Chain A
Amino acid sequence: MTARLLRVAKITPLSPLVTRFRFECPEGGTLPLFSGGAHVVVEMPDGGLLRRNAYSLISDPMDGSGYEIAVRREDAGRGGSRFMHSRVAEGDTLRIGAPVNLFSLDLRARKHVLIAGGIGITPFLAQLRQLIRLQLPFELHYAARSRAEAAGLALLPDLPQVHAHISDEGNRMDLGAILAGQPLGTHVYTCGPEGLIDAVAETATRLGWPRGALHSEAFLSPPPGAAFQVRLARSGKTITVAPHQSLLEALEEAQVDAPWLCRGGACGQCETVVLSCKGRIEHHDHFLTDAEKASQTRIMPCVSRFQGEDLTLDR
């Protein structure tokens, strides 16, 4: 919705699998600042499919001259990271969403302990800069299998609070040692493989940490949008919703009136009656109840989509 077209200003390999992308405004100018831990959704037009992947911003949150992300190539993934690695070149433009933060620092903390595993270092790269700028006490622990795979190493500042744990070198991370003896009021943030997140939670619980002091990163990636067709009974039209469009936008493009307010699946204004449905509505709203969603008799065109043979709406 508030996505903007940005130019790929620089592509830098950080390790055999991880590459850094820097985006800037095509006309110069500055981008909105953000808070450490924020991510952006990158839109990738891949044939008929619009892929949307979320990536943590790794650049300085107080520097609006560009946004940087680090993408690890996942050959088994949905294809977004492969697209970034193989199809994107310097000078290309991509649509990038506004920064959203689901993993922000709890600024009430007396001290911040950041624990990263592998590519999970990314949100912390921005948080580090914020913590340094705000002069808040912190400690960072970065675990990786080998120095070659530790793409984040080159991006970490050389500070006594920053610790790399390279298991190849016999320097495994000892969570018990890290979490024991932290001052009261410390918060711990974990980002990495699920096993690491669980291990931190377990160790912290064993040591009596309050639950509210534990944070971990969970991305909410919007699903890729595929095109679909919708029949509109009242206006007698059939429209195609393009991958990058919402159903609401497609209605508006076809000059079919649908009321709206929030365009975010919360207010209920655009609620539309489904007259027939052969297939599955992908409900992404917060408005309909679970029972209403399951019945497939209503849809919120601002955020929801459809897969199947026939969807007919009362519009």
Chain B
Amino acid sequence: MTIRFNDETFRDDYTFHNSPEAVRRFPFPFDHDSYMYSVNIEPHRRGQAGSVFQHRFDVDEHYIAEMRDREITLKDDPLRCQSLPHMELAGWDFLELVMTCKAEDYPDLFSLTRDGDRWHWINRPLGIDQRFTFLDATTLPCGPMEYITRQTQGDHALLDQREGNLWMDAGMITSQADWSLDFDIGMNFFEWHAPVPKAAEMGVFQRALKFLLNLQQGAPVRRLNWTMTVNPRLDTSPENYHKWGPEKRTLTPETVGAKQYLRVELQTLWRLPRSNAVAFPIRCYLCALEDIVTVPKWGRRLHRVLRDLPEELATYKGFSVNRPMIVDYLSKFDDGAPTSPGIFPDP
């Protein structure tokens, strides 16, 4: 299957759009009609053909446009990509993981040829043909983590494991839901999660960390997280809040369906071989409410979830101001019928 890549933007004129197939494969995050934090971790198993779970690193119609958007963000603010010196080995591990997965899963788009430490990488969508020496950073145009994450959709954090904790010691973070790598760099699992309401008291972070410290190579796991974003903007960072924060006030009952997006993060966790670090890709999917409601089950369920969501969560996720308008819009697509279990559309 070849992918037709969209020509689109995630800022200014916001020409981002989802094809009908992209809407059908959107990772709708709710398997029930209500939502609360939990340790929602499951094995990152290969999913159905066509779904975002089919491949280990999903490549979709937004690939090229997302990589262009990352370039713009990095040019304005190079600190979105940081790697403490001891994380270079983890960067190589991650580069190997992504290159081998993509070359195996998308042989028509990517290829990797290895002759000992001499590697040859071809990325056809981005027009890259690179020969380099594995573990020799002087043979790449930039560090290994930066190199591969400029070619991989989603944000990526690399966590060092020591003293029974995970430490955010490297990352490429340009499409985040209002948090900052420059602020969080060097923090541990509990420190960077401190702003999250309720979850710590519920023991979510304690249990999740224990699980992650035992994460095994070859057995990656995943979870879905979500928030609400006005306009299809990837860079919703605290650094640029002045650019996107005010856009929240531009919603009207007429435009809410088109301009309000459900933002879903497919987060995966991978144990890396040589460094024993953990890689944490955070892949962002955006879908306008008017597209969500084309799947009747999703329209009903999203209405119920957002209507009943505890206020602390709506405030933390930053959509309290618009919640009444959003719920009002969605209510028109909820006839009260029961919904089927699971996240996928009804056949």
Binding site for B on A (CB under 8 A): 1-2, 32-35, 37-38, 61-62, 97-101, 104, 106-108, 130, 134, 212, 261-268, 286-287
Contact = CB atoms under 8 A, between A and B. Distances in A.
Contact of B217 (A34, A264, A266, A268): A34
Query: Which of A99, A130, A265, A267 has the largest number of chain B CB atoms within 10 A?
Result: A267
Contacts of B42: 261-262, 267
28 contacts: A2-B217, A32-B218, A35-B274, A38-B276, A98-B217, A98-B218, A98-B219, A99-B217, A100-B214, A104-B161, A106-B86, A107-B86, A107-B87, A107-B89, A108-B84, A134-B89, A261-B40, A262-B42, A262-B43, A263-B43, A264-B211, A265-B211, A266-B210, A267-B38, A267-B39, A268-B38, A286-B207, A286-B211
A2 B86 contact: no
Given A34-B274, A38-B276, A62-B274, 17 more contacts: A32-B273, A35-B274, A37-B276, A98-B217, A100-B214, A100-B216, A101-B276, A106-B86, A106-B162, A108-B84, A261-B39, A262-B211, A264-B214, A266-B39, A267-B38, A267-B211, A287-B207
B137 interface: no
B275 interface: yes
A287 B216 CA distance: 19
Nearest to B42: A261
A179 B323 CA distance: 61
Interface in B209-240: 210-211, 214, 216-219, 221
B41 A266 contact: yes
B323 to A, nearest CB: 29
B223 to A, nearest CB: 9
Query: Which of B40, B43, B221, B276 has the largest number of chain A CB atoms within 10 A?
Result: B276
Contact of B219 (A1, A62, A261): A1
Sorting the interface of chain B by its residue count into under 10, 10 to 19, 20 to 34 or 35 or more gives 20 to 34
B309 interface: no
Contacts of A266: 39, 41, 207-208, 210-211
A286 B210 contact: yes
B343 to A, nearest CB: 13
Nearest to B221: A262
Nearest to B210: A286
Interface in B248-296: 273-276
A47 to B, nearest CB: 28
B277 to A, nearest CB: 9
Contact of B276 (A35, A97, A287): A35
A151 B79 CA distance: 50
B274 A267 contact: no
B274 A268 contact: no
B294 to A, nearest CB: 29
B216 A267 contact: no
A66 to B, nearest CB: 15
A267 B221 CA distance: 12
Given A212-B163, A262-B221, A2 B39 contact: no
B160 interface: yes
B207 A35 contact: no
A24 B160 CA distance: 29
Query: Which of B160, B219, B273 has the largest number of chain A CB atoms within 10 A?
Result: B273
B211 A33 contact: no
A83 B87 CA distance: 40
B288 to A, nearest CB: 30
B275 A107 contact: yes
Interface in B137-174: 160-163
B218 to A, nearest CB: 5
Nearest to B87: A107
Interface string B194-209: 0000000000001110
Contacts of A34: 217, 273-274
Contacts of B163: 212
B218 A268 contact: no
Contact of B273 (A1, A35, A265, A286): A35
A306 B26 CA distance: 42
Contacts of B40: 261, 267
B273 A2 contact: no
Interface string B26-61: 000000000000111111000000000000000000
Nearest to B272: A35
Nearest to A101: B276
A57 to B, nearest CB: 12
Nearest to B167: A108
A222 B211 CA distance: 15
A141 B153 CA distance: 46
Nearest to A130: B274
Nearest to A264: B211
A104 B41 contact: no
The 9 closest A-B pairs by CB, nearest first: A266-B211, A107-B86, A35-B276, A286-B210, A33-B273, A261-B42, A104-B276, A267-B39, A101-B276
Contact of B218 (A2, A106, A262): A2
Given A107-B86, A267-B207, A262 B41 contact: yes
Nearest to A287: B207
A35 B278 CA distance: 13
A1 B219 CA distance: 9
Query: Which of A33, A35, A265 has the largest number of chain B CB atoms within 10 A?
Result: A35
